[in-house]
């Protein structure tokens, strides 16, 4: 039986320690908001994004750069970290702010998920705003796919799982000749995507983190993060940095 397999993990900790990703393709999802921020920053011309786990690591790494060429970015509990240049609202990452800069990024869940996937042969960063662009990468990949949802503080997240299911649905549609087999989490993710279909904003508004972000004044971020295929680029994480692997033609 031909065809690659798709494994979805609701949180980074679900990825078995014994699972080697070196021969596989990984996809990291943090719709609210790290992967949306990553796609936006790259689209607006940042040089690269370096994910780190802790705030201290971010400060010490920034110290190795010429300060004018680097931006300290990220959040804790959704708010910009004291002393950082930017928080994690993708709306902060304008061309004027990020162009040609190295971005050092640490977030509560998203950067942890990225670091889990750093050994993958290929690791793409997926959000709702670049979904079809990332999907196109799989027509060139025959390896198993491991989709790692950032989740929320160690728990399942509706929005990341929905995004994973939406990607798999597109793969099934576009690669119907190739049998896509998956784990139980992948089956659930597809069912979620079929349930909500294109109601992206509704998913974000119903999610725990979406409600939290609204409660601390970031309701506009939900609208920004729900814009289907608004940013047709493919961020790839390799050698410890996230860069723009490809810009695809604008999706309808
Ligand atoms: C995360 O790391 O889960 C998110 O990026 C947190 C946020 O931006 O609110």
What's the CA-to-centroid distance between 213 and ligand 1, angstroms?
A: 9
Q: Atom 4 in ligand 1: which residue has the minimum CA distance?
A: 33
Spell out the CATH class of 4-241: alpha beta
Q: Is the pLDDT of residue 250 over 70?
A: no
- pLDDT band at residue 251 under the 50/70/90 scheme: very low
SS (H, E, C) the chain: CCCCEEEEECCHHHCCCCCCCCCCEEEEECCCCHHHHHHHHHHCCCCEEEECCCHHHHHHHHCCCCHHHEEEEEEECCEECCCCCECCCHHHCCHHHHCCCEEEEECCCHHHHHHHCCCCCEEEEECHHHHHHHHHHHHHCCCCEEEEECCECCECCHHHHHHHHHHHHHHHHHCCCCCCEECHHHHHHHHHHHHHCCCHHHHHHHCHHHHHHHHCCCHHHHHHHCCCCCCCEEEEEECCEEEEEEECCCCC
Q: Ligand 1 pocket by C-beta < 6 Å: which residues?
A: 30, 32-34, 75, 78, 88, 107-110, 150, 213
What's the CA-to-centroid distance between 125 and ligand 1, angstroms?
A: 14
- pLDDT band at residue 17 under the 50/70/90 scheme: confident
Residue of 51, 75, 153, 160 best suited for mutating to test ligand 1, as the one with most atoms within 8 Å of CB: 75
Token readout for 125 is 């960063």
Q: Return the sign of the alpha-carbon dihedral for residues 34, 37, 42, 45.
A: negative
Q: Higher confidence at residue 1 or residue 191?
A: 191
What's the CA-to-centroid distance between 203 and ligand 1, angstroms?
A: 16
**Structural domain spans, the chain:** 4-241
Which ligand 1 atom is the nearest neighbour of the CA of 78? Answer: 9
Predicted confidence (pLDDT) per residue in 163-195, tens digit: 999 999 988 766 666 667 889 999 999 999 999
Predicted confidence (pLDDT) per residue in 202-227, tens digit: 999 999 999 999 999 999 999 999 99
Predicted confidence (pLDDT) per residue in 140-160, tens digit: 556 789 999 999 999 999 999
User: Within the chain, what is the greatest distance between any pair of CA atoms?
Assistant: 54
């Amino acid at each position: 039986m031909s065809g690659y397999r798709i494994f979805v993990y609701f949180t980074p900790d679900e990825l078995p320690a014994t699972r080697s990703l070196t021969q596989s393709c990984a996809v990291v999802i943090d719709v609210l908001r790290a992967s949306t921020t990553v796609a936006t920053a790259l689209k607006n011309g940042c040089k690269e994004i370096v994910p780190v786990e802790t705030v201290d690591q971010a400060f010490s790494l920034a110290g190795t750069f010429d300060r004018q060429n680097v931006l300290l970015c990220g959040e804790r509990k959704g708010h910009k970290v004291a002393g950082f240049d930017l928080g994690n609202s993708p709306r902060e990452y304008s061309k004027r702010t990020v162009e040609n800069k190295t971005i050092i990024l640490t977030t509560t869940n998203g950067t942890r998920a990225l670091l889990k996937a750093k050994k993958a042969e290929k690791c793409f960063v997926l959000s709702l705003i670049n979904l079809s662009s990332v999907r196109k990468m799989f027509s060139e990949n025959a390896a198993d796919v491991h989709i790692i949802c950032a989740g929320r503080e160690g728990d399942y997240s509706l929005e990341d799982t929905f995004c994973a299911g939406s990607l798999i649905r597109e793969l099934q549609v576009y690669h119907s000749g190739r049998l896509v087999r998956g784990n139980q989490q992948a089956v659930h993710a597809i069912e979620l995507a079929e349930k909500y279909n294109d109601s992206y904003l509704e998913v974000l508004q119903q999610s725990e983190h979406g409600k939290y972000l609204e409660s601390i004044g970031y309701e506009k971020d939900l609208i920004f993060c729900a814009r289907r295929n608004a940013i047709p680029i493919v961020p790839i994480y390799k050698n410890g940095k996230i860069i723009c692997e490809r810009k695809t033609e604008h999706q309808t």
